[in-house]
Amino acid sequence: MEQSFNSEILANLLDIIQEGIIITDKEYRIVYINTTAEKLLKIKKEEALGAYCYDVLKKIIDKTICNCLKEKIQTGREIIQVPIYLQNIEETFVYISIFLPSSKEFCIISLNHGFPFTLSDTILNNFNEALLVVNRNYQIIYFNKKAEILTGFSVEEALGKSCHEILKSTICQNNCIIKESFEKKNVIKKSGIFLTKKDMSSFPAEIIASPLFIGEKLLGGLEIFKDITFEVQIQTILESIGDGVFSVDKHFKITSYNQALEKITGYTAKEALGKPCYEIFKSSLCESGCPVARVIKENKKLSNKQAYFIHKTGRKVPVSITVSPVKDSQGRLIGAVETVRDLSEISILRKELTKTYKLCDIISKSPLIDRIFKVLPDIAESESTVLITGESGTGKDIFARAIHELSPRKNGPFVAVNCAAIPDTLLESELFGYKAGAFTDAKKDKPGRFALADGGTLFLDEIGEIPLSLQAKLLRAIETKEYEPLGASKPEKADVRIIAATNQDLEILVKEGRFRQDLFYRINVVRLHLPPLRERREDIPLLIEHFIKKFRASKGKEIVGISEDALKILMSYDFPGNVRELENIIEYCFIVCKEGLIYPEHLPDYIEKKKEIIWPSEHQTLVSTPKTLEEIEKEAILQALRRNKWRKMATCRELGISKDTLRRKLKKYGLQDNGRKISP
Ligand SMILES: Nc1ncnc2c1ncn2[C@@H]1O[C@H](COP(=O)(O)OP(=O)(O)OP(=O)(O)O)[C@@H](O)[C@H]1O
């Protein structure tokens, strides 16, 4: 049968090719076997010729495979490139192809020295990544289509070459990745390596190298490489922006992660990549309303959602996040990208802006008040007499209470006396008490405020109103801690700390001879001046909120805040009655307003009219246009009230009218109805 192939040239040619060739007759008896096939099958030409091919092959091919091949040949079917494992000494893999010419006169069996792929060539060529396979000597034995495109070398140029000649990567010389994978017997992945193409241009690549073993025996290795120019460009962009950016796949695994995020979360990209996003960010939204899940589900962008992350150190980081869906080239959803803005600084600034100081029941955001807060504990700690000055309603009373609360006397009584509210004739017995029989109505002993305040604090409000006749006795009581109740034969002791307050200028009263200088010096040991509300307008919104809360609780009305317009009006109002006036205004609003927000129409009328008629500014002349006598009188009373900080008694004194007359005039001009509290 050899004669059928009597062309010696053909026989010689077949003999030198690297492919094993066996030719059988139609009975599948071997009529030709070339040298490569002899070597591969470990059989001598003489033994093989005339033998049935499957008798020869089954010695080195797994029986089941051999039977399967036999069956196929017998049914006349061709076999192309089936990888088979030869159980010869070298234990190699070969591709077996069996061609049956149409005449079916003979059959050609070819044995390709191949590699143990279970994937067919078609699959490998359609593989998305460039792929090459090397043998143990780093010679390329497989090179797919993508590898051709990426490197510019054809498969013919690549096969048989050493891989470094084709890939020419920056790590080929010293850090050969495939060599490393052989040594470590593991898959190695490297990114940011530059590969040089056939045309000498280069591109950044990611390479995965894997050794190929059969049992313990190293056969070679494969390299998968891809051009990551786009990713590098994107990464460069991502690194150059200040916001944190990361992307996740559909399973919430982090696929990219920029440097800004490392700062926000404390986790490096290395720690984060490949992890589920909730493990890294631990956001306040992770469990309840995961925005990434929502975006993936609804395929819709989500903007500026406020949340916080937990930093690696456990600190809460306030953030604003925007999440967008990510699609592949065919428009299929493949994940999401999230941008993260760190709001820490903004919230620090916001906190700074909304910083409020609170001490006991006093709230403020004014640095002027904060300065007082800072010294108040020390003042409280001392036993010194304190003089609190400030216009009416600025908070002298609550500051006095705060001093008491912070002092070592806090468990003792706090007794307040408004010296202006008690008629001069009664003030002495009110302060010092009396003994039974001291005067006609004195049936039994009555302790005074000094006695009641024993071991605690006595707050003498409006101390400027104390008549001169009583000032000497008061001075003695403060200095010696001893006093004599009316009708007493001997002094009594009272361990009292004095806090005095006034809205008058005591120095002027001293000059005018209406206040004793020695008493003034005695009480003016520590002086606190409370600025009027118009000098700390920043407190207005805060106090409005405070009073709304207070009245909401006590009056049970669902008033939740103040409208911008109403706030604007109050912000530009001068508040001659200070915090007390503001408190009264809000209380008035709680009567007029049903629920929701306080609007301008809920504010007392006089506030809007103040500049026109009711509250002329201090510099406005009384008679700028012709006025009626009544108008002049009304304005004169208002000016006097203003000068006397809205105190009736002082106003009466200045105008030389009685309290009754003033009361009538105020009623006549409707001044009581305007919401302003006028002190006695
Ligand atoms: N900073 C503040 N925070 C909260 N409430 C305040 C503040 N300042 C004043 N108030 C409230 O305003 C009202 C008036 O304050 P307070 O009676 O202390 O003023 P005052 O200066 O003693 O007035 P007067 O001189 O007329 O006696 C009180 O209800 C008080 O609780």
pLDDT digits (tens, 9 = 90+) for 360-384: 889 998 888 989 999 999 999 998 9
247 lines ligand 1 (CB under 6 A): no
Domain 532-603 has CATH 3.40.50.2300: no
398 lines ligand 1 (CB under 6 A): yes
Query: What is the distance between the terminal CA atoms of the chain, rounded to a whole angstrom?
Result: 139
| Residue 215 to residues 218, 221, 423, 526, Cα–Cα distance (Å) | 8, 14, 111, 93
Ligand 1, atom 18, lies closest to the CA of 395
Ligand 1 atom closest to residue 394's alpha carbon, by position in its atom list: 21
Secondary structure (3-state) at 310: strand
pLDDT confidence band for 4 (50 / 70 / 90): very low
Of 567, 645, 579, the residue nearest 361 (C-alpha): 579
Of 609, 678, 604, the residue nearest 637 (C-alpha): 678
Ligand 1 atom closest to residue 530's alpha carbon, by position in its atom list: 21
* Residue appearing with tokens 């361990």: 495
Confidence (pLDDT) at 342:
85
536 lines ligand 1 (CB under 6 A): no
Amino acid letter, residue 397: D
Residue to probe by mutation, ligand 1, list 398, 544, 548, 551, most atoms within 8 Å of CB: 398
Amino acid letter, residue 671: L
Give the architecture (CATH level 2) of 231-348: 2-Layer Sandwich (3.30)
d(CA 607, ligand 1 centre) in Å? 20
405 lines ligand 1 (CB under 6 A): no
Query: SS3 for 545-600, per residue?
Result: HHHHHHHHHHHCCCEEEECHHHHHHHHCCCCCCHHHHHHHHHHHHHHHCCCEEECH
* Residue appearing with tokens 């071991």: 455
> What is the rounded distance in angstroms from the CA atom of residue 321 to the CA atom of residue 526?
53
Determine what percent of the chain falls in helix, strand and coil, rounding each to the nearest 5. 40, 25, 35
- pLDDT, tens digit, for every residue of 331-345? 778 888 999 988 877
Confidence (pLDDT) at 265:
92
Of 249, 261, 239, 257, the residue nearest 341 (C-alpha): 261
d(CA 127, ligand 1 centre) in Å? 80
Ligand 1, atom 9, lies closest to the CA of 395
- pLDDT, tens digit, for every residue of 617-667? 333 333 334 445 566 677 777 777 776 777 788 887 767 677 888 888 888
121-227 shares its CATH topology with 231-348: yes
d(CA 396, ligand 1 centre) in Å? 6
Ligand 1 atom closest to residue 363's alpha carbon, by position in its atom list: 3
| Residue 329 to residues 326, 334, 364, Cα–Cα distance (Å) | 10, 10, 59
> What is the rounded distance in angstroms from the CA atom of residue 395 to the CA atom of residue 466?
21
d(CA 577, ligand 1 centre) in Å? 10
Confidence (pLDDT) at 458:
96
> What is the rounded distance in angstroms from the CA atom of residue 500 to the CA atom of residue 516?
14
d(CA 276, ligand 1 centre) in Å? 56
Query: SS3 for 42-93, per residue?
Result: CCCHHHHCCCEHHHHHCCCECHHHHHHHHHHHHCCCCEEEEEEEECCCCCCE
d(CA 393, ligand 1 centre) in Å? 5
> What is the rounded distance in angstroms from the CA atom of residue 680 to the CA atom of residue 678?
7
Q: Which of 71-75, 182-186, 559-563, 649-653 has the lowest mean pLDDT?
A: 71-75
User: What element of type H or E holds 321?
Assistant: strand 316-327
Domain extents in the chain: 2-113, 121-227, 231-348, 357-529, 532-603, 611-680
d(CA 428, ligand 1 centre) in Å? 26
Ligand 1, atom 31, lies closest to the CA of 398
pLDDT at 615 over 50: no
581 lines ligand 1 (CB under 6 A): no
pLDDT at 120 over 50: no
Q: What is the pTM of this model?
A: 0.46
Query: What are the E-state strand segments in 382-464?
Result: 386-390, 414-418, 433-434, 446-447, 457-461
Q: Which of 73-82, 194-203, 360-369 has the lowest mean pLDDT?
A: 73-82
- pLDDT, tens digit, for every residue of 508-558? 999 999 999 999 999 999 999 999 999 999 899 999 999 999 998 888 888
CATH superfamily of domain region 121-227: PAS domain (3.30.450.20)
> What is the rounded distance in angstroms from the CA atom of residue 432 to the CA atom of residue 53?
133
504 lines ligand 1 (CB under 6 A): no
**CATH code for residues 357-529:** 3.40.50.300
pLDDT at 118 over 50: no
Percent pLDDT > 70 in the chain is: 81
| 365 neighbors 354 (Cβ within 8 angstroms) | yes
Handedness of CA 428, 430, 436, 442 (dihedral sign): positive
> What is the rounded distance in angstroms from the CA atom of residue 326 to the CA atom of residue 409?
68
**CATH code for residues 2-113:** 3.30.450.20
Domain 611-680 has CATH 3.10.450: no
pLDDT at 17 over 50: yes
Ligand 1, atom 15, lies closest to the CA of 395
pLDDT at 674 over 70: no
